[in-house]
Amino acid sequence: MHSDAAIVPEKGEKNLPEVVSFYNATKGDVDRMDFMAHAMTAKCQTKRWPMLMFYNMLDLASIASLVVFRSKFPDSQFSKSARRRFFQLEVAKGLLVPQMERRRMVKHLPRQLTTTIDLVLDKDPEGDTQAQNAAQSTAVRSKRKRCAVCPAKRDRKTSSRCHLSGKPICSEHMVPSCNPIECFSAQEELRLGKLEYAKVFCWLRNTYVVGGDDVSGISAAMPVRDQEREEAQIHYYQWVPILLLVMACLIKLPNLVWRVFSLGSGLDLNQLAALVISTQCAPSDKYRETVRHIAEYIDRWLEGHRPRSWNVFVRAKKFMSKRCFFFPWGKRFGTYLTGLSLLTKLMFACADISVFLILQHVLGSWYSFYGIKLLAGMATSSSGPKDSPYFPKVTFCDMDVRQMNNVQR
């Protein structure tokens, strides 16, 4: 074994293989590379030997690439050993950026992942606002799946998806969305965070309409004085969601009162109504049996709610229940449901009046005759209803932009 061609004769009597001799001649460089790999490594904790081999190859490849780069560009900024970390970051970014750019072109990516990619690539999210709005306005096409809103029995398949949740949505439940505020100013004046600030500012501030009856505002001149802007301001567009929520609560409150307090009467009105409805198309024998059940049900209810004592307080409650229909006192005198029904109808009437008063207070005095004006306009116009100056589709907002000593609007 020690006499073949692979054996290299040494000075001593012992002959060593060529592999061992080469290692002894270069073991200083091997130790240096191991030290550099240990100081800055890509290894992660794992018990799989293929992964360990892969991590070791990454460490050696990063060191070898740095050596090759230094030998080819000795005057570069990565020539010093202290710049090794920045060199590896640049190499990693150069390998990952093309993949991230291809990944960024996918339209159905989650918004959080898209924002992270923009931050890594140092891209301004406002730079492609129009592309994002176009992607949001059109549903993302993908593999056909069952609609997430439709019942499972319908088994309606669709290839459209919601741009926010990513769930499949059919055309029946699809609602196109868009950005309600767009800035007409030049992008050079409002860039970075200024454009988003301008949109939020105009959304919180009252906008104004230009042109009076010409609601598009294209042929009319922009108001110059602040007083003209205040007179043309629309104060209710930003409060529409809150107004709708308040009106919905006012209309729903009487129904909740009826549902909650009707259970205290001791009479299941839904079951009683179901029994009465079942007698309409029933045969004669079934009809008599159902009517007998209804009579027994009402008789037991009256027997259970009959007053057990007859004293001064009972007589006072009976007197008040017959005169005032105050439903909490009429459980044993037959006026509970009557008083509750009257109270519910009164609450419905008050809710309707309150809705009209709230709308008139928020929208202004013109709301009282808005319906009459709308019907009159539809009757006199041959082309159908026109855009209302009270609910214009286009409104305007401006803000002061300070540039050195000049303030521009």
pLDDT tens per residue across span 69-111: 878 877 766 555 557 777 887 888 888 888 888 888 887 788 7
In a domain, 233, yes or no: no
In a domain, 375, yes or no: no
Average pLDDT along the chain: 74
Last residue of a domain, one of 91, 115, 136: 91
Question: Using one digit for the tens of pLDDT, what is the confidence trace for 111-133?
Answer: 788 888 888 777 755 455 444 54
Residues 34 and 115 in one domain: no
Say yes or no to pLDDT of 250 above 90: yes
In a domain, 184, yes or no: no
Residues 124 and 44 in one domain: no
Residues 47 and 117 in one domain: no
- pTM for the full predicted model: 0.45
Residues 246 and 136 in one domain: no
Domain hosting 146: range is 106-178
In a domain, 391, yes or no: no
Predicted pLDDT at 134: 46
Residues 250 and 357 in one domain: yes
How many structural domains compose the chain?
A: 3
In a domain, 98, yes or no: no
The strand pair at 406-408 and 401-403 is best described as antiparallel
Predicted pLDDT at 216: 47
Mean pLDDT to the nearest integer, 146-171? 81
Ranking 5-14, 344-353, 381-390 by mean pLDDT, the lowest is: 5-14
Say yes or no to pLDDT of 265 above 70: yes
In a domain, 383, yes or no: no
Say yes or no to pLDDT of 185 above 60: no
